[in-house]
C-alpha cells in the first residue's frame, strides 16, 4: 500500500469533525471570558470612580489572576478541552500558557525549571511584542506622532 492509498483509507475511517458545534462552543466561552472582563472593568469604574482607561490595567491584572488560579486548580485546562479556541482570549490564554509551563517544570527548581521553561512557549510572543513596539515607537518618533523630541 503506497502513501496515497493509506491516506485515503485513513481519511475514510476518520470520525467527522463537528465544526459548527466547535465554533459555537469557542464563541460562547470566548464571549463569556470577555463578558467577565467587561463586568470587572465596569465594577472598577463604578466602585472606584475610574475612567475606562484607568480601569483597564486593574481589569487585566484581575483577569490574569483569575486565569492563573483556574489553571492551578486544573479548571482552565478542562474548559480548554471542551471549548477549544474559545479559551485563547489573549490575556487569559497567555497567562494560562505561562502558568502551565511553570507548573509543569516546578520540580526542576525555580531558576532552571520554572524560570527557564516558563518562557519557552510564550517567549516568541514576548519577543515579537517588544520588537514590534520598538519599531512602531521609532516610526512614530520620526513622524512626530509620539510627542517626544529627537
Nearest by Cα to 68 from 96, 94, 87, 104: 96
Question: Please, what's the largest Cα pairwise distance for the chain?
Answer: 71
Could you give the CA distance from residue 120 to residue 111 in angstroms, rounded to a whole number?
A: 13
Give pLDDT, residue 63: 97
Q: Give the start-to-end residue ranges of the domains of the chain.
A: 17-143
Per-residue pLDDT at 121 exceeds 80: no
Residue 139 to residues 72, 126, 143: CA-CA distances in angstroms? 41, 20, 6
Nearest by Cα to 100 from 82, 85, 119: 119
Radius of gyration, alpha carbons of the chain:
21
Helix ranges restricted to H, the chain: 3-13, 19-47, 52-72, 75-83, 90-104, 116-143
- Listing DSSP states for 71-97 in one string gives HHTTHHHHHHHHHGGGG--HHHHHHHH
Q: pLDDT per residue over 13-68, tens digit each? A: 998 889 999 999 999 999 999 999 999 999 999 999 999 999 999 999 999 999 99
Give pLDDT, residue 128: 82
Confidence of residue 146 (pLDDT cuts 50, 70, 90): low
Q: pLDDT per residue over 80-110, tens digit each? A: 999 988 898 888 988 888 888 888 888 888 8
Could you give the CA distance from residue 1 to residue 66 in angstroms, rounded to a whole number?
A: 52
Amino acid at each position: 500500500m503506497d502513501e496515497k492509498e493509506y491516506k485515503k483509507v485513513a481519511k475514510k475511517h476518520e470520525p467527522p469533525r463537528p465544526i459548527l458545534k466547535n465554533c459555537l462552543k469557542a464563541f460562547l466561552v470566548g464571549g463569556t471570558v470577555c463578558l467577565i472582563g467587561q463586568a470587572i472593568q465596569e465594577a472598577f469604574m463604578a466602585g472606584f470612580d475610574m475612567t475606562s482607561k484607568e480601569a483597564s490595567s486593574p481589569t487585566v491584572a484581575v483577569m490574569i489572576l483569575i486565569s492563573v488560579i483556574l489553571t492551578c486548580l486544573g479548571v482552565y485546562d478542562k474548559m480548554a478541552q471542551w471549548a477549544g479556541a474559545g479559551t485563547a482570549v489573549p490575556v487569559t490564554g497567555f497567562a494560562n500558557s505561562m502558568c502551565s509551563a511553570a507548573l509543569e517544570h516546578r520540580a526542576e527548581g525555580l531558576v532552571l525549571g520554572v524560570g527557564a521553561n516558563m518562557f519557552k512557549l510564550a517567549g516568541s510572543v514576548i519577543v515579537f511584542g517588544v520588537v514590534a513596539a520598538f519599531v512602531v515607537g521609532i516610526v512614530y518618533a520620526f513622524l512626530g506622532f509620539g510627542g517626544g523630541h529627537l
